[in-house]
Amino acid sequence: MYTSHSRTHSFLIRIWREADKDFTWRGHITHVPSGEKQYFEDLEGISAFILPYLEMIDMNLSMYQRFKQWLKR
């Protein structure tokens, strides 16, 4: 059972590139325990969705920065 105080969060991320002239990134991310889902149009949408969950578990900023760098790869 999910509670807002859980120390573990799982996410399902589906991403693809649109075949337009700019090859735009699209996708959606789902927080598995709660079922909350959000669509995004760029990869920054992933970190924007996950950040509140990381703040709930008191993740320090340096870990968040490493996470963002990992997403940019």
**28-58 pLDDT per residue, tens:** 999 999 999 999 988 888 888 988 887 777 7
Listed in order, strand segments (DSSP E) in 1-62 are: 11-17, 25-31, 37-40
Structural domain spans, the chain: 11-72
Provide the whole-model pTM. Answer: 0.67
Q: What is the pLDDT of residue 31?
A: 95
